[in-house]
A = this chain, B = another copy of it.
Amino acid sequence: MDIEELLKQNDLKVTPQRKAILAVLQNTNSFLSAQDLFQRVIAILPGTNFSTIYRNLDVMLAKGLLCRVPSDNGADLYELRREEGHHHHAVCKTCGASIPVDYCPMESLIQELDRKGFLPTEHCFEVYGLCARCRKGKGKQ
């Protein structure tokens, strides 16, 4: 989808900073930390402040444009929520590769939670380990 359309559909004003943020996210297959994103955004639009990045990540997250996943080191990671829909990741602890996983555990759990009266609104499912390359000792250190 067109970036400007995406913003307008979500009642967000179209600003150069937001266009830069979404452009970076659209051109990235794996997910990014806020700081990585910041570095790439200022390459496109120098002068952009990091608080703008953080504020927009929050706004876009609230609008459902993005997904956020926790990571080993403190920094959360972000990625564009794509049309293909919801998915999870297996992340390699050595090289950082992020392998998409189609399976979503909520499918199996929704009934059990419903029986307990619990209404799920969000969930987090991430797998960490070693990818095939790194397992064979071929990944970057």
Q: How many residues of A contact B (CB 8 A)?
A: 32
Kindly supply a per-residue 1/0 record for chain A positions 34-77, scoring 1 wherever the CB is within 8 Å of any chain B CB and 0 otherwise: 00000000000000000000000000000000000010001000
Q: Is A6 an interface residue (CB 8 A)?
A: no
* Per-residue B-contact encoding for A107-120, CB less than 8 Å = 1, 0 else: 01100110011111
Contact assessment for A129 and B135 in the assembled complex, using a CB-CB cutoff below 8 Å: no
Q: Do the beta carbons of A117 and B132 come within 8 Å of each other?
A: yes
Q: Does A121 contact B (CB under 8 A)?
A: yes
In Å, the complex CA distance between A101 and B130 comes to 26
B116 touches A99 (CB 8 A): yes
- A70-B70, A99-B118, A118-B99 known; A113+B128 contact, CB < 8 A: no
Say yes or no: is A123 at the interface (Cβ < 8 Å to chain B). yes
B121 adjacent to A124 (CB under 8 Å): no
Residues of A in contact with B (beta carbons under 8 Å apart)? 70, 74, 90, 92-93, 99, 101, 103, 105-106, 108-109, 112-113, 116-132, 135
21 intermolecular pairs with C-beta atoms under 8 Å apart: A90-B116, A99-B116, A103-B109, A105-B125, A106-B127, A117-B132, A118-B127, A118-B129, A118-B130, A118-B131, A119-B129, A119-B135, A120-B127, A120-B128, A120-B129, A121-B129, A121-B130, A123-B125, A123-B128, A124-B124, A124-B125
